[in-house]
Structure 1
């Protein structure tokens, strides 16, 4: 049985093949931009891989951007901390110089002037910015965090214990819930003498015992620690309540009520009686902190945020520590300016020409402030090193992902050129052949 093929069927078949050839040629021309995938239908398997790789690349690029931003932040912070520690080193040297008993009033005034300039520079460095953000302002980084008062205020005077004193007075009763005893409050008894109050347990000691008397106990027994019943001269009468620093002082150390009095039961010369005490204070300028002590995290890898590993800032309370007025036992929130205000106390004492206090307390305070900043600088340096390592890892990973994307999406230019020439030849030959075999239409006779 014979099959008759009409001219219409022949034309339809020819046009379909011609259109297919044109489509193949167009597809090859699209690949001239270097990519062989422009739509899912081009290669479903490769397109799926491309989407997955592209998503990974976008994530990695975001993490890389985070890490680079973090490194810039850390470098700015580290540079500021390096400058602060350098200034503190000079401040320490001046503290030692001020403790020299041969200094006259003019000498002390000159040292005090230099100290104030250095403190002002530290405050300025505390306001260091990265772009339009203050690096030490915590999460309130759009507001200038550190300000020094223009006028002087009454700040509580403390007794800062050296290492030997801490080891002795931080006995079982001298240690609070939050660490070793580092400072005592300076009191003035109604007998005109200076006493020191351990705010953690309410015991009061004479100035002479804290400065020198305890040494006799240690000389007899190197492992000796405080025995309040024998060493203290009295204990606060608070009707069974605990002494709370926040009831008398702000977190910056500024006294709330300069006329506040404390009453203690004091034993002297075998007799026991009540004695009133007032707080010793220093007239000085005070630095306040308007930021917060929260951390800023910049995520460097996929997954949950790790505050201990992702933070890129140093909190003010880390840089300038805490003191008796804002430690966890004080009842106050961290001031963020403890060591700055301690240094201002040192300045006030030098300005007043008190070289004896400088010898017993001032040098210890200056050393402590320097050590606190060094500790924070070391932590930030370690964090910067970690981010540098992550940056290297992310860069390598980006290169690998880019290679995978190239492998599944890029076209072979040499093969493309050959195929394109073949398709163009086929298409042109089809057009030429079609002109011969297709039946003429009415238009051919017009």
Structure 2
């Protein structure tokens, strides 16, 4: 069968265009390093790359959370270590004051304690990235400062808030050490309430609390069951004469437990598990923590404990004032400072553990990112050496095609006569 010149010409042009398209595509792949430049190049591959890209984007967000949280915790650890050093220095001065030979100039020791107090207050108001480290979730306002009459040092904001950060789809973690747990008094409810108790059942407890001057008060609490898994917590604070510091009874708090595991769900709708009690007129400020209280199918057993009786700021302030008046620190004041030192060490451990956990998560995220990038490269990456060889082959085919066309296509009718 005779092949017409038109058919030869059309076949050549089609073949020529195919080779040119392949050369252009290979050049594009070499230039961009990607096999897929548009969805039509590989619909299945494009779908895989979109999923991988989404996962990589999430990982980058989580890694930024890790980096910011690590910075925050490192600053927290630095502040706590600095506070520990200052308080240890104060404890050492107490030892020196036990020696009568060092009691001739108590004003000197008062100056030293004032300096340590100033440093501790500065560290308590430390900031990182514009956030007060010990400010809880209200980290935009300075948490600690002098009262309006400069007689005491007060907590200026709610320092109970927990800063939680998501590091993976399933992992969230608290990254801050609350100011109340370090510098304030936290009265904790420990033990269990009886899930089988009838409505109206009441659990009463008492605990000593102190004002900023070190005066003792009595905290009375009453936990009344109102419905399944639901209780009302009411409280009062009495002075030394048995008189309430409140002009009217504070509103009761609604406490709800999980019916499945008995864990605390909320206090007045808040899942924090901690709330403040602040009586400015009496300079009383402490927190109540119900996080350790559970509901069980057994007889109720609840007790109250306090992490520290008085805050370190006003304790040191009283010690300094007394020294200037010729009064040595009492055994109770020394014990209060040493108790605070132990509390700081405990919080340092908590911060270190949190930082270690975040470091572990960071390693996991880095490995996940590496694995995802490997998958992306396998799906869309270009082997440059192979691509160059393919390009050379296509260019060779183009040259052969052009030579054959030069021999065949110029022939006319005279060549066949």
**TM-score, normalised relative to structure 2:** 0.64
* Larger helix proportion of the pair: 1
Which residues in structure 2 correspond to 1:21-36 (within 5 Å)?
21-32=19-30, 33-36=32-35
Match of 1:39 in 2: 38
**2-structure distance, mates of 1:99, 1:351:** 16
Query: In the alignment, what sits opposite 2:344?
Result: 373
CA distance in 1, matches of 2:5, 2:210: 103
1:19-59 CA-partner distances (Å, limit 9, x unpaired): 22111111111110322222233333333332222222222
List aligned pairs for 1:347-358, cutoff 5 A: 347-355=320-328, 358=329
SS at match of 2:18: helix
Q: Residue 94 of structure 1 contacts residue 111 of structure 1 at CA under 8 Å; is this kept in 2?
A: yes
Q: How far apart in 1 are the matches of 2:48 and 2:74? A: 38
Relative distance call for 1:440 and 1:343 in structure 2 (3 A) is: farther
Q: How far apart, CA to CA, are the structure 2 residues paired with 1:26 and 1:335?
A: 74
Which residue among 299, 303, 312 is the counterpart of 2:166?
Answer: 299
Larger Rg: 1
In 2: Cα distance, 1:99 partner to 1:75 partner: 37
Distance 1:409 1:34 in 2: 8
- Taking the aligned partners of 1:353 and 1:99, their CA distance within structure 2 comes to 14
User: Distance between the aligned counterparts of 2:35 and 2:118, measured in 1?
Assistant: 64
- Cα separation, 1, equivalents of 2:150 and 2:210: 18
Aligned to 1:122: 120
Decide which of 363, 373, 386 is 1:415's aligned counterpart: 386
Count residues with an aligned counterpart: 301
Contact 2:23 2:395 (C-alpha < 8 Å) held by counterparts = yes
Q: Secondary structure at the match of 2:165?
A: coil
1:256-335 alignment, distance < 5 Å:
285-290=152-157, 292-303=159-170, 306=172, 310-322=173-185, 324-325=209-210, 332-333=277-278
Counting only pairs closer than 5 Å after superposition, residues 100-249 of structure 1 correspond to structure 2 as 104=103, 107-149=105-147, 151-153=149-151
Once residues 138 and 84 of structure 1 are traced to their aligned partners in structure 2, the CA distance between those partners, rounded to angstroms, is 18
Q: Does structure 2 conserve the Cα–Cα contact (< 8 Å) formed by 1:144 and 1:291? A: no
Q: SS at the partner of 1:347? A: helix
Compute the displacement of 1:121 (Å): 0.2
For the residues of structure 1 that align with 2:141 and 2:398, how far apart are their CA atoms? 70
Structure 1: unaligned runs, 5 residues or longer: 154-284, 442-446
- Secondary structure (helix, strand or coil) at the match of 1:301 reads coil
Q: Which residue of 2 aligns with 1:62?
A: 61
- Name 1:398's counterpart in structure 2: 369
Residue equivalent to 2:79: 80
Structure 2 matches for 1:427-446, cutoff 5 A?
427-438=398-409
- Greater strand percent: which structure? 2
TM-score under structure 1 length normalisation: 0.60
Q: Distance in 1 between matches of 2:155 and 2:161?
A: 17
Contact 2:137–2:161 (8 Å) recurs in 1: yes
Question: Would you say 1:343 and 2:322 are equivalent positions?
Answer: no
Shift of 1:5: 6.4
CA distance in 2 between counterparts of 1:100 and 1:366 reads 19
Structure 2 unaligned runs (5+)? 187-208, 212-218, 222-234, 238-249, 251-276, 279-284, 288-309, 413-417
* Residues 325 and 359 of structure 1, relative CA distance in 2, 3 Å threshold: closer
Aligned partners of 1:435, 1:295: CA distance in 2, in Å?
81
Q: Secondary structure at the match of 1:298?
A: strand
Contact 2:77 2:352 in 1 (8 A): yes
